[in-house]
Amino acid sequence: MKPEQLPVSASPKSLQPVLDRIATEVQALPGRGRPADYIPALASADPRRFGMAVADLDGTVYGVGDWQQPFSTQSITKAFTLALDLSLDGDLLWEHVGREPSGNPFNSLVQLEYENGIPRNPFINAGALVVTDRLHTLTGDAAGTLLDFLRAESGNQGLTFDEGVADSERAHGDRNAALSHFMASYGNITNPVPTLLDQYFRQCSIEASCADLALAAGFLARHGIRADGSTLLTRSQAKQVNAVMLTCGTYDAAGDFAHRVGLPGKSGVGGGIIAVVPGRCTVCVWSPGLDQRGNSVAGVAALDRFTTLTGLSIF
């Protein structure tokens, strides 16, 4: 056992001092990266903000810093739409999207062209668009279905879309429109592209806090069981989502994230990251400053410290 590892008892209550220590350490980080600047709503975020929350299996939440402050969830939502679609589509989903790391930037069209319009995995933009397209076909309202789910799991009925953010995305949406039309040319998109983009941008615009997201991701630590005890995913499907998060969840830094943090995780350009300790707890961290690959600098550092201090890595 490494000397710096703290004793973590069976009770997650003991995590509070860990969170406090991490917050102090992160405070001292020399650089914090820069907020995403492709839309004004994200660019104005303060990179010194930092929050972190841990939810145990029964829904108790511990937090530090800005852990109750809502932020723009962005790509974090892709983990939830993946789970929602998988619960409806089952293995059929994997005929429309792969589950291999891409080795290319998140919005690349190159691999898509070499592989006939089937995106490598559900977390690059092309793959997330396919998942939303399918969820929309199956439910009639992909973004609404997602919002309902997040409200139910977090117990926070106040969660909403940020229509201003969605509008901003739409105004910078040429790349996602290109991806969608491109896949449509291969028959891998069913809804009209403008409809799909509208759903997609609303989905990404949802605002939620670390506490909300740590609770909402709980089913991934509970092997597929929702907060109310009902089953969203089979144990095998929950494993699938965690596996995709580990191998593909942090843009093209998944290997580095697995290496440093060693947990399934999904990041967003709003600066949030959710991570899962299967069978134990979920963690959500937020700080808006991003590294060059689009992941929160302080967020990754905090998760790195979390697994080092608690030994709660999957490896």
User: What are the residues binding a copy of itself (CB under 8 A)?
Assistant: 1-2, 98-104, 108-111, 113-114, 120-121, 174-175, 177-182, 184-185, 193, 234-236, 238-240, 242-244, 246-248, 252-256, 258-259, 262, 264, 278, 308, 313-315
Catalytic residue among 75, 102, 154, 209: 75
Min CB(249)–a copy of itself separation in Å: 11
296 tagged catalytic: no
Q: Is 72 assigned to a binding site?
A: no
* Cβ pair 132, 199 in contact under 8 A: yes
Token representation of residue 154: 């977090």
Q: Cα dihedral angle (267, 234, 307, 207), rounded to 10 degrees? A: 30
Min CB(22)–a copy of itself separation in Å: 17
Closer CB to a copy of itself, 134 or 222, in the complex: 222
Catalytic residue among 108, 165, 251, 261: 251
* Cβ pair 81, 142 in contact under 8 A: yes
Rg of the Cα atoms in the chain: 18
Min CB(67)–a copy of itself separation in Å: 25
251 tagged catalytic: yes
Min CB(151)–a copy of itself separation in Å: 26
Q: Is 200 assigned to a binding site?
A: yes
Min CB(111)–a copy of itself separation in Å: 7
Angle at 66 between CA 263 and CA 244, to 5 degrees: 20
Phi (first) and psi of residue 273, to 5 degrees: -145, 130
Catalytic residue among 200, 276, 285, 300: 200
Q: Is 125 assigned to a binding site?
A: yes
Closer CB to a copy of itself, 48 or 175, in the complex: 175
Min CB(264)–a copy of itself separation in Å: 7
Angle between helices 125-139 and 193-204 (to 10 degrees): 100
Q: Is 176 assigned to a binding site?
A: yes
Q: Is 114 assigned to a binding site?
A: no
Closer CB to a copy of itself, 208 or 312, in the complex: 312
Closer CB to a copy of itself, 21 or 239, in the complex: 239
Rounded to whole angstroms, the Cα distance separating 24 from 36 reads 25
Rounded to whole angstroms, the Cα distance separating 210 from 237 reads 24
Catalytic residue among 97, 244, 269, 277: 269
Closer CB to a copy of itself, 3 or 140, in the complex: 3
Closer CB to a copy of itself, 66 or 198, in the complex: 198
Q: Cα dihedral angle (189, 190, 196, 199), rounded to 10 degrees? A: -120
Strand order in the sheet with 281-286: 61-65, 51-56, 281-286, 272-277, 265-267
Rounded to whole angstroms, the Cα distance separating 102 from 106 reads 8
64 tagged catalytic: no
Q: Is 29 exposed, middle or buried (0-12, 13-18, 19+ CB in 10 A)?
A: middle
> Three-state DSSP class for 95?
helix
Angle at 272 between CA 18 and CA 5, to 5 degrees: 20
Question: Which residues line the annotated binding site for substrate?
Answer: 75, 125, 169, 176, 200, 251, 269
- Looking at the annotation, which residues are catalytic? 75, 78, 200, 251, 269
